Amino acid sequence: MSPNPFRRTKIIATLGPATESEEMLVKLILGGVDVVRLNMAHAKHDWTRMIIRRIRDAAKKADQEVAIMMDIKGPEIRTGDLETPLDLQPGEIFDFTVKPGADRENAVEVRSVDVNYQNLINDIHVGDTVLVDNGLIRLEVLEKHQAHFRCRVLTPGHLSSRRHINLPGVHVNLPSFTEKDRGDTLVGIEEGIDFVALSFVREAADITQLRGFLREHKSSARIIAKIEDQTAIANLDEIIRATDVLMVARGDLGIEVPMQELPVIQRRAVRTCLSIGRPVIIATHMLESMIGQPMPTRAEITDVANAAYEQADCVMLSGETTVGKYPLECIAALDLITRRIEEEIATDFPEPAVFIDERMKLLRSAVIMANELPHAVLLCFTRKGVTAAGLAAHRPAHAPVLAFSDSVNTQRHLKIVRSVEPYFLSPFGDPEKTIGRAIAILLKAGRIKKGDKLVIISDLFTPSNTRFDSIQLRTVE
């Protein structure tokens, strides 16, 4: 066995023209991708159904299970269509029209663009900042009228059609779960997606609404809450507690908050997730330069390394694997960087997190034992993934969490959890026989060898059929 046979940090790759062929999907999965993300901002339902089935087929060919995340669009404010792009200059007066076709006051020589959200006029205030096209164009609101609001251009820019608008500090009264989101999610549910990523989450109630929708349609998909604006930061703790997984979506978030706050927010989000055992994803611009070149910048290497040092569960690629020229090289770079940092952490690891819950204290005992034994692995049996995720929440320093489940859904859900290697085993049956079958599978796969220590967390039953938790220590014979 290799001295470092597995990577703790999970890799999420977004699918696009560069990676949607079955051949490339197989290569991505074999290269180390744990979760495949579908960006539903512009995806059609026929394509979505086809690609989900293709991902499952590719996983079978690769003989590795992979999870599928559907990232739904959420509420979005965009500019309308323009016949020709506009070059905006500092000091220029410019209008945003919320009622297309309406007369504008003093419109002579004032250029304008339509906005797709009519009630924006009620949400925005004089003095607010409007950011267009990922923050490249900055404007200040000067006046509000019935059909438009007037701004002064602060930074120059080239404005083309359908550009995204950000409004830092403005509470926008758009629904978090739109009609488009409902239609997209229904397709995902029918095709058996594993995760739904909810965009622009502002409060815990947004997650509760989506959870109700998933239950109504009998879906076992887990919820990923994306934090992307200042409202989400204000409600961060309640969002983390309400969701299944958190994503620090640094694209829009980096536009919405002062730039110097972004690393502080990322660190706080990761620490809060670790404190309650919630998986966390670091996303956007991880290896942005590799869209067009085969090597990352030194700053990108450090950025990925910081996510691994913080012990985030996942790092995510977007444009790098959707339209980039080097998707496989991006996966290899993430794999190489995170493995190296994990080796470094293992030599000076922090104490496991302390949880109040009794069962989490039991799992902490197992992790401490595994940390102190050379060549130890944590072996657990889990139907819904709770035991495996609980072990991973304590961030074991050396031992992998080899998790056996009798549910394929659980196996896929665990693909997003740091340090967990999920396996399928069914049925469970007698505990001793089940442990024996699991050990046989791991020996055959070369995952364990003679002399290794197994810290086993499993159910045991008394003669009266009373269940209790147990921690066992065995040596592989």
Which tokens hold the place of 244?
């299944």
Q: Mind giving me the DSSP string for 337-351?
A: HHHHHHHHHHHSPPP
465: left (phi over 0), alpha (psi -120 to 50) or beta: left
Angle at 94 (CA atoms; ends 93, 98), nearest 5 degrees: 145
In 315-430, which residue ranges form alpha helices assigned H by DSSP?
319-322, 327-347, 358-371, 386-393, 408-413
Give the active site residue among 284, 338, 387, 434.
Answer: 284
Tokens of 3: 């001295």
- Taking alpha carbons only, the member of 228, 83, 96 closest to residue 166 is 228
Tokens of 127: 């003095």
pLDDT tens for 264-300 read: 999 999 999 998 999 999 999 999 999 999 999 999 9
pLDDT digits (tens, 9 = 90+) for 374-414: 889 999 999 999 999 999 999 999 899 999 999 999 999 99
Q: How many Cβ atoms from other residues are within 10 Å of residue 272's Cβ?
A: 17
Active-site entry in 7, 138, 226, 418: 226
Which pLDDT score, from 0 to 100, does residue 3 have?
A: 44
pLDDT at 40: 97
pLDDT value at residue 413: 98
Phi and psi at residue 377, to the nearest 5° = -130, 150
Active site residue 415: no
DSSP reduced 3-state for 421: strand
Residue type, 384: K
What is the structure's pLDDT at 462? 62
Active site residue 284: yes
pLDDT of residue 469: 83
CA-CA distance, 428 to 103, in Å (whole number)?
Answer: 70
Q: Walk me through the domains of the chain, giving residue ranges and CATH numbers.
A: 10-75+175-345 (3.20.20.60), 86-166 (2.40.33.10), 358-475 (3.40.1380.20)
C-alpha span between 333 and 237 (Å, rounded): 32
The list of the chain residues with pLDDT below 50 reads: 1-3
Q: What is the pLDDT of residue 100?
A: 78
> Residue 268's pLDDT is what?
96
Is 78 among the catalytic positions? yes
Residue listed under structure tokens 């990761």: 270
Catalytic pick from 27, 49, 73, 78?
Answer: 78
Q: Give the C-alpha separation, 147 to 104, whole Å.
A: 7
Residue of 7, 8, 10, 37 with catalytic role: 37
How many angstroms from the chain centroid is the CA of residue 229? 16
N-terminal to C-terminal alpha carbon distance within the chain: 16
Asked whether 228 and 211 are in contact (CB, 8 A), the reply is no
